Amino acid sequence: MEVSAAILPCGKRLHLQHGPIDLIIGADGDRQAAFVAAKQRLDTILQELMEELPELRLNLTSDVPQPQGCIARRMDKAVRPFANDVYVTRMAAVAGSVADEVLRAMVSATPLNRAYVNNGGDIALHLEAEQNFSLAVMGHDGTDLGRIKINHDDPIRGIATSGRHGRSFSLGIADSVTVLTENAAKADVAATLIANTIDIPGHAAIDRKRASELDDTSDLGDLPVVTHCGSLSNTEISSALLRGRKCAHHFVTRGLISEAAMFLQGSAETTDPQGFTLSQRTPIYA
């Protein structure tokens, strides 16, 4: 299987795809050299991960040994601070870790003023002095949820979004959770775990199945994942979001994340209203 590479119609962004990895990449500077470096690094990533995949799918406890591969070590480093009292595997950081590693390869290959690697919504950033990065936060149905602007001086180089509409299974009912922190791998883990806490256990409108019934290779095993969430009352939505907000504030207090925004059925919570500009504008589409 070879890496598929194509310059997008704008002429400034690269689309790379290799198996389940799907990247959109942008760079300001020597764009050609950066794109070559990104493709060369992606060529080797899947094989690296496959060599340690069974171990990476294990619940991360204190006695689980350190992995050997570069990206696997990134995943381990990102997940361990969160793994004290919750079920989580190193796969919770895989998308963010891939984004971080491809970005590292680009920046190592050539000087860049600004660059990003977007791996299905998990974004790794590089910003030189006086540079910034702005993006829209969008719902799974194209709804415009808000805006984020990150400046060079901000301690944020990773953005990740998780929830029950994402590519991976979720234990919770959040439509989406977006997290900002120091790198994409750590943001990936935090968004996953916060999304898992946004829930109303035992509610009749929420359907669940064991992850293994839906995908026998899932790292979640027999844990019940959400397959459907019907309409909830405002009180129920607020209660579910409050669970997520408490988890997010706990992560902020511990210095694990900078900010988070949580969305469920038209309602939202944030840890810092200054960090996210929430909106209820006309839906926009990618």
Q: Is the pLDDT of residue 140 over 90?
A: no
What is the predicted pLDDT for the residue at 275? 65
The predicted model scores a pTM of 0.93
Mean pLDDT of the region 205-231 = 94
What is the predicted pLDDT for the residue at 284? 28
Q: Give the pair of three-digit tokens for residue 91.
A: 């796969």
Q: Write down the mean pLDDT value for the chain.
A: 92
**209-213, 217-221, 228-232: the lowest-pLDDT one:** 217-221
For the chain, domains (ranges, CATH) are 4-278 (3.10.520.10)
Give the amino acid at 20: P
Mean pLDDT of the region 125-143 = 90
Q: 135 CB contacts (<8 Å, ≥6 apart)?
A: 123, 147, 148, 159
pLDDT band at residue 14, thresholds of 50, 70 and 90? Answer: very high
pLDDT band at residue 205, thresholds of 50, 70 and 90? Answer: very high
Backbone angles phi, psi at 196, to 5 degrees: -65, -30
What is the predicted pLDDT for the residue at 79? 97
Mean pLDDT of the region 272-285 = 53
pLDDT band at residue 247, thresholds of 50, 70 and 90? Answer: very high
Q: Is the pLDDT of residue 282 over 50?
A: no
Q: What torsion do the CA atoms of 113, 139, 215, 160 make, to the nearest 10 degrees?
A: 30
Compute CA distances 51 → 21, 158, 235, whole Å: 16, 26, 47
Q: Give the pair of three-digit tokens for residue 248.
A: 């997010």
Helices (H) and strands (E) in the chain, counts: 7, 14
What is the predicted pLDDT for the residue at 273? 67
Q: Given its phi and psi angles, is residue 29 left (phi above 0), alpha (psi -120 to 50 degrees) or beta?
A: left
Q: Is the pLDDT of residue 274 over 70?
A: no
pLDDT band at residue 234, thresholds of 50, 70 and 90? Answer: very high
78-132 per-position pLDDT tens digit: 999 999 879 999 999 999 999 999 999 999 999 999 999 999 999 999 999 999 9
Q: Which residue has the higher pLDDT, 217 or 123?
A: 123
What is the predicted pLDDT for the residue at 142? 83
The number of angstroms, rounded, from the C-alpha of 221 to the middle of its chain's C-alpha atoms is 21
Nearest of 7, 21, 29 to residue 106 by alpha carbon: 29
Q: Is the pLDDT of residue 280 over 70?
A: no
Nearest of 33, 44, 186 to residue 124 by alpha carbon: 186
Q: 209 CB contacts (<8 Å, ≥6 apart)?
A: 224, 225, 227
Q: What torsion do the CA atoms of 118, 249, 244, 58 make, to the nearest 10 degrees?
A: 60
C-alpha count within 13 angstroms, C-beta hemisphere, residue 142? 5
What is the predicted pLDDT for the residue at 62? 86
Q: Do residues 198 and 262 touch, judged by C-beta distance below 8 A?
A: yes
Counted residue by residue, the chain has a size of 286
